[in-house]
Amino acid sequence: MNTLAFIIDDSAVNIAIARLLLQRLGWTVETFASAPPMLERLEQVAPRLMLLDISMPDMGGDEACRRIRSNPAWNGVRIVAYTAHALEDERQHYLACGFDDILTKPITLASLSAVAGNAADSQPTQA
């Protein structure tokens, strides 16, 4: 079973927290400080889950999500917006961009589990 998760965030602290929590849930984690290297890695391997930061200097998460969704080979990747932006109109925008869910920072094990589930599970837990 694919237990690979990508974390894409320009904050080392946010990456470290998400990595630790995902690993506690049984995920294998690869991290990226920006979207372009992650898109290059997608050419080689597709994760089952991706936590994709919205606000990054080189390419925003919404643009990266659109690019991923435009490639049918990556349709099975669950993409979660990983963001501090949580207003309702922002949430609707992220979903319209192709995100499957939104995880609002700061995260907890419970909030991450609700959108990602345990790596051994086929579905995220239902809140």
pLDDT tens sequence across 72-98: 999 999 999 999 987 899 999 999 999
| Closest C-alpha to 27, from 126, 109, 106, 103 | 109
**R_g (Cα) of the chain, nearest Å:** 13
Give the bridge partners for 81, in sequence order. Answer: 52, 102
State yes or no: pLDDT of 122 exceeds 60.
no
pLDDT tens sequence across 7-63: 999 999 999 999 999 999 999 999 999 999 999 999 999 999 999 999 999 999 999
Token pair of 51 as six digits: 């936590």
State yes or no: pLDDT of 5 exceeds 80.
yes
Domains within the chain, CATH numbers bracketed: 4-116 (3.40.50.2300)
What pTM was estimated for this model as a whole?
A: 0.93
Which residues contact residue 77 at a Cβ distance below 8 angstroms, ignoring those fewer than 6 apart? 42, 46, 47, 48, 49, 50, 68
| Closest C-alpha to 77, from 41, 26, 126 | 41
Write down the pLDDT at residue 123: 55
